[in-house]
Structure 1
């Protein structure tokens, strides 16, 4: 006989369900009981645990990628075409390895933060200039700096070939420079504009967009000379390409291209100091309260709800500021805020959220993430299809469009049937499946539907189609 729906749940059980589904990618069978022992501690521990997931250990590093890219460009013609095709194929393989870390790894909250920052910088497979680096950028810039100061992540990002090549900063030189004195100025402003508009203050006209075109040019002048050194053919014998934690090779500063004299940006003077000018500007920008609030709002929107509550945004921004622009403080404050655990707040799962959470709920442990990547793409989200910073849609109005929603329900039903085709459990296991996946988030309505399911496959299809599973 089926028991009645519980009259109440322990606060720790409710918090565990929210921690697992909202901050992570959903629990695996039996995991909620462990999380309920200390939901906040479970999240915070993931901010301290920073080893690179085993699934991505042996993927290529930037010096190797850059050397291959330059060799293809030097050959030209059909070689470039073949190389770009190989990059896309390799990108799908790397995407599969990265999604595998979210499906099978022990740190789903950390993986969600990695994905947030990868999309924030927008180094994806869509742009031929950056496609070779799409996942190397994530491994070399984002993962090592996930809980450091934002300055550390920004410095690593701006010195990475992905951003330097994307915005052509390696070609930038000032009129007032040794190179520019005898030729026409070639000041590239793209990287400076991206730093101000996308990575720190925000677009002009937004809630924090307070910069001017003169600020763009000033920052661009500070960044002249920030480029790339040549990568030798034998990196194992070349000290120039040894990888430092915050400065992925092969960044190089060329003082001959750097603008002479002082600069003036955002109502502040910067004395001539070569490469230190750009570093000082990044330090100033990443410590601005407006930048902290913008990052807090974006993170709350990505993790908690499409319409971030201002008190929660301010609290998360305070955590950022308290650590001098700390990304660890940003994430930890969110993970320990009571407001972030409000059950009434909901966010619709994107295709990657949905697929990963279904795989985890079913207890699947694939050795290859290729099937998951294909499932995510079928639901409308290609691997690393960023296109631009913050370009991936993550709001309900996009993912709940009628045709997309129908595809989601069809996929959920089909996956449940295929995965549980030979499962020996009877319909009496349906409620265990529901509580394993959602805990107290399982609604009375869904509880009743699962209780009368004909078999475990129908129960799983009903569970994955339920509103509480489709949201987090």
Structure 2
């Protein structure tokens, strides 16, 4: 193996240069090991069931979580995660409950406050930017530390399914209500209920231009995406005539807004940013959608009938089942499991909890091939494994959010309404950034967060020698001891560079960046 002079890199480079050069050097070490069969994902026949269920139902292993699943068993853990209301999350609430105060405020009041602040001379620092940071921070903190891990995964799944690009000031306030009422309200409930909530979400109606759709000129954006992306799928059997009819059915589904002016007393007194049905904008004539006649004069019930038609359609059962199986099983969803999950959908009126149970108890789930982590998953799982806890939100956000932007995976940032792709091939580029993240995390260079990894070693009575420490890390990350090739790689590196705190951290970074951890 090539001898690496890491100290020369540290002496010659600045901080950013060290990260790039160090990552490149460690990549060479890892590539050699991988070519010999080291640091590769564990096959389905060899992996530990506890490791598998943790990797698929959570944002990654922690020592505490592994002990918990070992104690209660895999089946009980799945059952618990599917019923998050029974999981005690009081420690998370006590630790982080006050970090995001804006999330507890009425969105309409925040909108009015934003407007009033911007009316003040030279004051353009409203609440919108802080709210956006807190919305993203809430995702990050809950993914890191909540005991209700599957609830968080499913909340984010629905946010990606009903994807809304959030970049303007009004959008940010509307996103707050979408988070409350659509994606987080009951992610294990009936799909019909989630679909209804999304259809009446001011954020969705504004994003896809339905808020201004009127009978004289129906806007087809929402109608098209409702069928193609939210329910039936692109090959779900609808026609252009169906798109036009659905667009007519949703005319008048609109949003109240604050009419900015000099004197608020003369403005619209309705709360801004709320759903309302405007009968003056609605097309009252008969419509035909997927062969179903929607009688004339139905008003708001026209759109509700469309939602019921779509929620009950076999193509919707197939489409939602395919996406769930892709998320939890494979980039190439097994047709047999998709079909069984779709049958569960149709038998239970689209009960998501029942569909997930079908997936998690299937042979296809337990025999699934490794799935490449999306950037958000990789970063969160690395932080969880190394026992990080955020302590200063602003500093932590300034460290993490630019990384997520650079990796193309910032929450609420997908420009198109199709959501971030859930296939590994899409995320295979920009691997150097993953290496640099692994180096930062392993070397304790995460602003605004502290790792209590040493405490973890002491609690597990891990020896102070390098083999003991790195074998513990291997068991934690991979669910198995390091193999001979992996230990030989580590020993060769430490022999060349010396066994120091920094070189041990190098090897932990390598283990985080290795395929064995990049895949779940």
| TM-score (ref. length: structure 2) | 0.74
- Say whether 1:99 aligns with 2:140: yes
Contact 2:249-2:302 at 8 Å conserved across structures: yes
Aligned Cα RMSD in Å?
3.6
- Say whether 1:27 aligns with 2:67: no
- 416, 437, 454: which is aligned to 1:388? 416
Contact 1:302-1:394 at 8 Å conserved across structures: yes
| Structure 2 residue matching 1:145: 3-state secondary structure | coil
- Which range is displaced more, 223-232 or 326-335? 223-232
Structure-2 separation of matches of 1:341 and 1:324: 26
Structure-2 separation of matches of 1:95 and 1:21: 22
- 226, 229, 232: which is aligned to 1:198? 229
Encode CA deviations 1:263-317: one digit per residue, 9 max, x unaligned.
Answer: 1111111123221221121011011111111111112222322111111212222
- Which range is displaced more, 434-443 or 390-399? 434-443
User: 1:466 is matched with which residue?
Assistant: 514
What is the 5 A alignment of 1:68-467?
A: 82=124, 87-88=128-129, 90-126=131-167, 130-174=171-215, 185-203=216-234, 206=235, 208=236, 210-229=237-256, 250-272=274-296, 273-343=298-368, 345-367=369-391, 368=393, 370=397, 371-401=399-429, 404-418=430-444, 423=454, 425-427=464-466, 428-440=468-480, 445-446=485-486, 449=489, 454=499, 456-467=504-515
- 1:311/1:69 Cα in 2 relative to 1: closer, same or farther (>3 Å)? farther
Give the total of aligned pairs: 434
User: 1:64 is matched with which residue?
Assistant: 109
- 1:120/1:68 Cα in 2 relative to 1: closer, same or farther (>3 Å)? farther
Structure-1 separation of matches of 2:483 and 2:111: 52
User: 1:4 is matched with which residue?
Assistant: none
Structure-2 separation of matches of 1:9 and 1:467: 12
Shift of 1:88: 4.5
Shift of 1:72: 8.9
| Structure 2 residue matching 1:457: 3-state secondary structure | helix
- 1:103/1:112 Cα in 2 relative to 1: closer, same or farther (>3 Å)? same
Contact 1:151-1:286 at 8 Å conserved across structures: yes
- 80, 96, 120: which is aligned to 1:45? 80
User: 2:49 is matched with which residue?
Assistant: 15
- 1:31/1:122 Cα in 2 relative to 1: closer, same or farther (>3 Å)? same
Structure-1 separation of matches of 2:120 and 2:204: 23
Contact 2:386-2:441 at 8 Å conserved across structures: no
Structure-2 separation of matches of 1:249 and 1:216: 26
- Runs of 5+ in structure 1 lacking a partner? 1-7, 175-184, 242-247
- 1:148/1:451 Cα in 2 relative to 1: closer, same or farther (>3 Å)? farther
- 1:21/1:451 Cα in 2 relative to 1: closer, same or farther (>3 Å)? farther
- Runs of 5+ in structure 2 lacking a partner? 1-41, 446-450, 458-463
Contact 1:227-1:253 at 8 Å conserved across structures: yes
Shift of 1:240: 7.7
Contact 2:214-2:282 at 8 Å conserved across structures: yes
Structure-1 separation of matches of 2:487 and 2:176: 41
Structure-2 separation of matches of 1:62 and 1:265: 35
Contact 1:40-1:335 at 8 Å conserved across structures: no
- 1:322/1:67 Cα in 2 relative to 1: closer, same or farther (>3 Å)? farther
- 1:417/1:364 Cα in 2 relative to 1: closer, same or farther (>3 Å)? same
| TM-score (ref. length: structure 1) | 0.81
- 1:389/1:328 Cα in 2 relative to 1: closer, same or farther (>3 Å)? farther
Structure-1 separation of matches of 2:114 and 2:284: 33
